[in-house]
Amino acid sequence: MTHLDTAHRQGQQGVRDGGSDHAIEAVGLSKSFGRTHALREVSFTVPRGSVFGVIGPNGAGKTTTMRALLDIIRPTSGRATVLGADSRHAGPLIRRRIGFLPGDLILEGRITGRRLLQHYADISGPVSRGYIDELAERFRLDLDSHVRKLSRGNRQKLGLVQAFMHKPELLVLDEPTSGLDPLMQQEFLGLVKEVREAGQTVFLSSHVISEIQQAADEVAILRDGRIVTVASVEGLRKTAVRHLRMRATGIPPAELAERLERLDGVAGLVCTALDSGATEAVATLEGAIRPFIQAVSSLALTDLVLEEPDLEEAVLALYTAPAASVTPVQAERRDRS
Amino acid sequence: MTTATTRRDAESPDAAAGQEFIRRAPLPVFGKAFTDGWRALIGWAVGFAAAVFLYLPLFPTMSAGAGDMQKLIDAMPAALIKSLNYNQIGTGAGYTQATIFGLIGFALISIAAIGWGAAALGGDEESGQLELTLAHGVTRTEVAVQRFAAMALKIILVSAVVFLLVLAVNGPAELDLNVLYLFQTSVIFAGLALLSGSAAMFFGALSGRKVWGIGGGSFVAVVGYVLNAIGNQSADVEWLHALSPYYWAYGNNPLANGADWLTMVAFFGASLLVGAATAMVLRRRDIGV
């Protein structure tokens, strides 16, 4: 019991003193299953009161990271601190202040949602009266039907209620939006924003950024057990590619091409002469748009379409690019290869 | 839930604000493990009642036609009689031992105990539910200990039902059983089943798979039974008795001769040791991989 008490004290200290700035701190976290390296020296920090997303393709190590934080599996090397306590010795008092949603959510089917939640309330932090019903209403979840009769989406909602109901300081949510319809995804993202405003920290994963880009302050991209990059969503957006299409009159294709090619970040440029006599240019633009606007300001533009940066595309590029060629968005790059 | 009383939790920041929380059950893991299986528990009790009421009332007719019975026994191969412990079937104690405690009852309670033990941790991990439980405010030791206790209580309740059922038919079926010996045999009956159930729980916890739990538990029950049966055959293989939990339990015919308390305590003590080992292996493992 001694180490539990110690952990609790550490946890409490974490709230009070300087440890309060990080809800999660992972340092060189590695995990091997036999010859498979699920995690390779993963390091990151999640500031308190922030929403931190981790995205990556299936098998990238998202679930393994989360399980290691909850002490469900033990890292081969490295360490993690959760709410100020070492994850290996954090103990039940720390876990009461965490809400966890597993990636492969399996719930007992023979009882009603309400009874299942009562059981999880029995073994988790204190749950305010009425809050379970409030959450269930929000997600339009019927608590009185048997769990086995619920659809996958409704079971996911039960899992979410279970994670949020004791208003934990830290939420660890593995693919929280999976199985939810778009309306409920929005409801979930709204809830994440609310708990963030209430000072709670959210650590969540997804395999597509579109699901979490609205909610996350920072995003870590995980690939093959390594963190490829940690960036703010804004930072990712800056590296993301915009598609542009423009038409101008009074300039031949060759001249327009020459003018645009000089700009940084322009790629895939194709200039064609249209029947109407105008010239059309199609390209992608990466990075700042100001130099581009300046370069085309003197043209007689008839049409200009500059699309929103496509984060999905940016992330997919990071998924597939060879590790060495990936450009770190911030100095926090942990990749060692 | 509207009648739930207020609970203030010292470690919660909300407690200071005087917020009301829903009530939390004491020993939640034990309570859940026990109440989850209450329907099955009733089913098992009905099964035992069926076995007791099917077999034991036949005893008077069998002993009345003792000559016929003896002829039947004589006609059976000696090896079979020894394997089935039918050599004392002419007495009430021998008959009850051979049919209920040593055969049908033993099979039923072993199946129940091994099923409960294998499901408690191995089955729960395999289904993916243990992960979420352990992510809450419980330690692995708590989960193992409370689920072990729930399994033990179920086995003891089932054994108590068997004790009461046999006691109820003792007079009408002219079994002429010594009540203390019946009680001692019931205790041993529970202890033997608990040992198989504990083994099932241990191997389930060790592997994270229900099937390994069932295998480990069945090994204790079935191999114990088989070694006893082989050991009965001749003096050359009698040493096999030493390896058989079944023989440790019933070798001395407790229903006819009574049992020493050490034997009774030993089964529970050994089961507790296996339970402690279960908690230790569960603490060391990665769950759900």
Q: How far apart, in whole angstroms, are the C-alpha atoms of residue A175 and residue A178?
A: 6
Mean pLDDT of A137-159: 94
Residue type at A40?
A: R
Burial of B15 (0-12, 13-18, 19+ CB in 10 A): middle
- Residue, of A249 and B19, whose pLDDT is higher: A249
Q: Between chains, do B22 and A33 touch, taking CB under 8 Å as contact? A: no
Answer yes or no: is pLDDT of B239 > 80. Answer: yes
Q: What is the predicted pLDDT for the residue at A20?
A: 55
> Which CATH number does A2-97+168-237 carry?
3.40.50.300
Q: How far apart, in whole angstroms, are the C-alpha atoms of residue B110 and residue B98?
A: 16
SS (H, E, C) A175-222: CCCCCCCHHHHHHHHHHHHHHHHCCCEEEEEECCHHHCCCCCCEEEEE
Q: Between chains, do A126 and B4 touch, taking CB under 8 Å as contact? A: no
pLDDT in tens, A57-97: 888 899 999 999 999 999 999 999 999 999 998 889 999 99
Answer yes or no: is pLDDT of B22 > 90. Answer: no
* CB interface of A with B, residues 95-134, below 8 Å: 95-98, 100, 102, 104-108, 110, 114, 118-129, 132
- Confidence tier at B68 by pLDDT (50, 70, 90): low
Mean pLDDT of A308-333: 61
> Which CATH number does A241-308 carry?
3.30.70.260
| Tokens standing for residue B134 | 């352990």
End-to-end CA distance of chain A: 42
Distances (CA, A) of A317 to A23, A137, A171, A313, A325: 30, 39, 29, 6, 11
Mean pLDDT of B57-80: 73
Q: How far apart, in whole angstroms, are the C-alpha atoms of residue B227 and residue B47?
A: 27
Residue of A nearest to B26 (CA): A122
Range A183-191, long-range pairs (CB < 8 A, 24+ positions): A184/A139, A184/A140, A184/A153, A184/A157, A185/A211, A187/A138, A187/A139, A188/A139, A188/A160, A189/A214, A189/A215, A191/A138, A191/A160, A191/A164
Q: Between chains, do A72 and B286 touch, taking CB under 8 Å as contact? A: yes
Q: What is the predicted pLDDT for the residue at A26?
A: 94
- Residue, of B62 and B127, whose pLDDT is higher: B127
Residues from chain A contacting residue B139 (CB–CB below 8 Å): 4, 91-92
- Nearest CB to A126; choose among B14, B133, B136: B14
**Domain spans in chain A, listed from the N-terminal domain onward:** 2-97+168-237, 241-308
Q: What is the predicted pLDDT for the residue at B108?
A: 94
- Residue, of A316 and A225, whose pLDDT is higher: A225
The mean pLDDT of chain A is: 85
**Domain spans in chain B, listed from the N-terminal domain onward:** 27-284
The pTM is what? Answer: 0.83
| Tokens standing for residue B202 | 């241990």
